[in-house]
């Protein structure tokens, strides 16, 4: 489509009263550190949300070796680069994951989202707005570290799920991420999920440490405890088979914890009126 055509389409579609109504709940899953379970949580959560009847899209924003394609044994043909080059529509590059959730596969194109030119942004916006009406949840699996790309997705999301584990380095890295988001970008609300915890008590202790540090050094930042996921060897077992734990082991402790989280997020989502149309897409494209 020509740029003028794209613009025209956007003008038509962005009156804020699109027929599908509500926009999706948008969550980034983030940590500042690799290996804490972001990808496993994102995908299993997507599966549990889908199983509860929700329409879910996962954006794989991490290019590392353990990305979602590999985790699920998928071999996507296309990715966001094909959308940006105009060869494919967004709908054509999405891949279907287990249980029916959709995946936007990782590619180096995701790295350039923060630096697209205006015409590319408008084009992508029109593609995304078409999709938004068919989605309840959008989950973004972010990369490790605190680079521009990670910050970008955390800014675009409505909610940031910060994953940490009882390991001290995880706490330090989560704190560093929160500090950058708060001090440099004015984001002051985070949800905390403790993964690989031995018990609820341990997870609460980890959460409190983070919350106390944040309160002491960052002032008015709000960290909500969202829950914990136990250490569970079923996750590793599923990863080895390139399958999702929630699919292979629906009754495992970790699956039950993630499914409980899915239930809580759905409840929240249904309470919010969802009239915040176009919020994410515009935030994401910085328009």
Which stretch of DSSP H or E encloses residue 163?
Answer: strand 159-164
Which stretch of DSSP H or E encloses residue 182?
Answer: helix 168-185
Binding partner selected for residue 259 from Mg ion, ligand ADP, none, CB under the kind-specific 5 to 8 Å limit:
none
**30 contacts Mg ion (rule: CB under 5 A):** no
**39 contacts Mg ion (rule: CB under 5 A):** yes
Spell out the residues 6+ positions from residue 153 whose beta carbon is closer than 8 angstroms to its own: 28, 30, 59, 61, 140, 142, 284
CA angle (219, 223, 206) in 5-degree steps: 105
Please, which residues bridge with residue 162 across strands? 30, 192
In the complex with ligand ADP, the residue whose CB is nearer, 1 or 205, is 205
Binding partner selected for residue 191 from Mg ion, ligand ADP, none, CB under the kind-specific 5 to 8 Å limit:
none
Please give the residue ranges that form the binding site for ligand ADP (CB under 6 A).
31, 34-40, 66, 195-196, 229, 231-232, 235-236, 239, 254
Q: What is the largest CA-CA distance in the chain?
A: 58
Minimal distance, residue 245 CB to Mg ion, in Å: 15
In the complex with ligand ADP, the residue whose CB is nearer, 83 or 110, is 110
In the complex with ligand ADP, the residue whose CB is nearer, 36 or 221, is 36
In the complex with ligand ADP, the residue whose CB is nearer, 161 or 266, is 161
Minimal distance, residue 155 CB to Mg ion, in Å: 19
Residues of this chain, 59-88, that bind Mg ion according to CB under 5 A: 62
C-alpha distances in Å from residue 35, one per residue of 77, 164, 258: 27, 10, 17
């Amino acid at each position: 489509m020509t740029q003028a055509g794209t613009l025209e389409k956007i003008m038509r579609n962005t009156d804020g009263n699109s027929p599908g109504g509500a926009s999706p709940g948008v969550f980034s899953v983030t940590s500042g550190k690799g290996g804490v379970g972001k990808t496993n949580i994102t995908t299993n959560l997507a599966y549990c949300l889908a199983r509860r009847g929700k329409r879910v899209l996962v954006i794989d924003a991490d290019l590392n070796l353990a990305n979602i394609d590999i985790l699920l044994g998928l071999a996507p043909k296309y990715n966001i680069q094909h959308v940006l080059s105009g060869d494919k529509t967004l709908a054509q590059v999405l891949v279907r994951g287990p249980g029916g959730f959709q995946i936007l596969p990782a590619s180096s194109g995701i790295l350039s989202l923060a630096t697209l030119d205006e015409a590319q942004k408008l084009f992508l916006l029109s593609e995304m707005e078409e999709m938004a009406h068919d989605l309840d949840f959008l989950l973004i699996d972010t990369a490790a570290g605190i680079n521009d790309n990670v910050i970008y997705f955390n800014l675009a999301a409505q909610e940031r799920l910060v994953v940490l584990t009882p390991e001290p380095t995880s706490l330090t890295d989560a704190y560093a991420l929160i500090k950058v988001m708060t001090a440099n970008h004015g984001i002051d609300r985070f949800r905390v999920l403790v993964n690989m915890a031995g018990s609820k008590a341990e997870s609460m202790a980890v959460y409190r440490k983070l919350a106390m540090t944040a309160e002491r050094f960052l002032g008015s930042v709000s960290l909500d405890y969202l829950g914990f996921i136990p250490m569970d060897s079923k996750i590793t077992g599923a990863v080895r088979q390139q399958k999702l734990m929630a699919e292979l082991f629906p009754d495992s402790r970790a699956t039950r914890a993630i499914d409980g989280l899915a239930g809580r997020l759905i409840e929240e989502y249904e309470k919010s009126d969802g009239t915040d149309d176009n919020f994410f897409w515009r935030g994401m494209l910085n328009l």
